[in-house]
Amino acid sequence: MKRPVQSYTIWFSQRTGSTLLGEALSSTGVAGYPREWLHYQSMSPDTLKRGDLEQIWDQGTTSNGIFGIKINFEQRWIDAFRSLYSLPTELSRAEVWSTGFPNCTKHIYMTRRNKVRLAVSWWRAIVSGEWHRKHGDSPQLQDIADQYNFDAIKHLLVESNMCEAAIEDFLSESGIVPLTIVYEDFIADYEGTVMKMLAFLDVQFDGITVSAPFFDPIADEISEQWVQRFREECQRDWENVKW
C-alpha cells in the first residue's frame, strides 16, 4: 500500500476541464493520478471501509508519494469519513476530508466563467452520450439538433452554480485558499496551466514534459446555436438585457 506523503483534491463542477487536467497531471508521473476515485467500482458512502480508501491511495499515488483525487463536492462522503474514523463533530470538514486522504494540504478549484456555455456543454453530453472525445477520434455522427431543451439547460445552469457554492462554502469555512483554475484560461494556455499546477504542488518537475491534450474539443455549431437560443429565451422581455 502506498500511503500518500501529500494529497491534493481537485474540486470541480461538470464541464470545467477536470478530466483533461487529470489526464495531463497523470502523464507527468509526479503528480499522482487524480481521478474520481470515490465513484469507481460502485463505491458507496454507506458501505465504505478503510480498506477501500487504502486501495484508492495505492491506485492514485505516484512513486514520489503524491496522491490526487478529483470530485464534485458531496457532503455524504465527508459524513462517511467522520463515521468511519469515529471523528468528533467539532472537527472541521476539511480536517475530516484529510483523514480520508492523508496530508491533504493542497486544494484546486476548477470553474468556468461562462456558465451558459457550461450548461449547454453538459446538456449536449447528456443527449449525445459523448462526454469526451479522444484526440484524433472522429466526431460521433448523430443528429441532436432537435434535442434543445430550455428547462433542462436552465436546471443544469442552476445545478452548476449550487455545486460551486457548496465548494466555496467548504473552502471558506476552513480558511483554505485554493489554486483556482479557470476553464477558459486552461484551454488558452494548456501547458502553462499544468506547469502552474506542478509548482503549486511543490513537486520536482525538472525535465518533465507535459503531454499533448488527451481530448479534442466537442463544442460545434449546434452547441453555439443552443447557447444563443438559450441566451435570447432566458432574457425575453427583460428591460435590461445583460448579454
**Which residues are part of the catalytic machinery?**
36
Integer CA distances (angstroms), 94 to 81, 97, 105, 109, 223, in order: 11, 5, 9, 14, 37
List Cα–Cα distances, 243 to 5, 7, 92, 101, in angstroms. 47, 41, 40, 42
- Nearest CA to 43 out of 7, 18, 12, 80 is that of 80
Pair 121, 13: CB distance under 8 Å:
no
CA-wise closest residue to 179 among 205, 198, 160: 198
- Of residues 43, 103, 108, 107, the one with CA closest to residue 77: 43
For the chain, how big is the Rg over CA atoms in Å? Answer: 19
Residue type, 91: L
Residue at grid coordinates 477558459: 184
Enumerate the β-bridge partners of residue 107: 9
Q: End-to-end alpha-carbon separation of the chain, Å?
A: 52
